[in-house]
Amino acid sequence: MKQEEIEYTPSLIRRALMNTAQKLDDEFSVGAGLLQIHKALDYIRSLSKPSLISKIQLDITGGQGRGIYLREFDQVQKSSGDIRLIIKSKYLPRKNGQVVTYEGKYTKLIFFFWKKNFDLDQEVKIKFGCRLSLICDPPVSYVQHGKFLDLAYTDRTFDIRIDPAHLKEDQIHFTELQAFDVDQINAGPLARFPITIIKPIR
């Protein structure tokens, strides 16, 4: 990527590796799957054209933090009610405009030197906006959520509801709530939120 002068961020590399990985049967031990380096590089090349999506990192938090894990007997006997999740957007600036700490005795000098890029970053944040499509993969009936979410450069909250009452006992049930940009569905999910349920025997 350095040789081809492709702009990249750690978040973009991670997303490329996860979205192009070959899925295996055991998701709990291998995560997203088997890495496909060449496919990941092609993925990043496909986003090398000016695109805010390649410069925005999205994270979904809620439940127990970065996912929901239900395993206690009382937790899996009835609907959870509304569970509030938060989706956060973080702009990752270009390499020559990385975020710096504006403190210390050189504060004014540093700010003046970076002011042009700082103003550009602020403009990008103001103009950012996208519509997300929310799906569960694999599809499940026990997770209810909205289908779309309009996102600007600010935290957004939304609710989901989980009803594990009808699930089979002594089994692990797993799905992942994924968020896609409706204008770039082929780019794969921009954020993932795992939901795991273990229903114990009575």
pLDDT tens sequence across 10-20: 888 988 999 99
Token digits for 113?
Answer: 């030197």
CA angle 97, 37, 133 (to 5 degrees): 70
- The structural domains of the chain, ordered by start, are 1-49 (no CATH), 58-92+129-199 (2.60.40.3170)
Give the pTM: 0.77
pLDDT in tens, 13-71: 988 999 999 988 776 767 788 899 999 999 888 875 555 666 778 899 998 788 999 99
Token digits for 89?
Answer: 């957007």
Per-residue pLDDT, 149:
95
Residue 77 has pLDDT above 50, yes or no: yes
pLDDT in tens, 127-177: 778 899 999 999 999 999 999 999 888 899 999 999 999 999 988 999 999
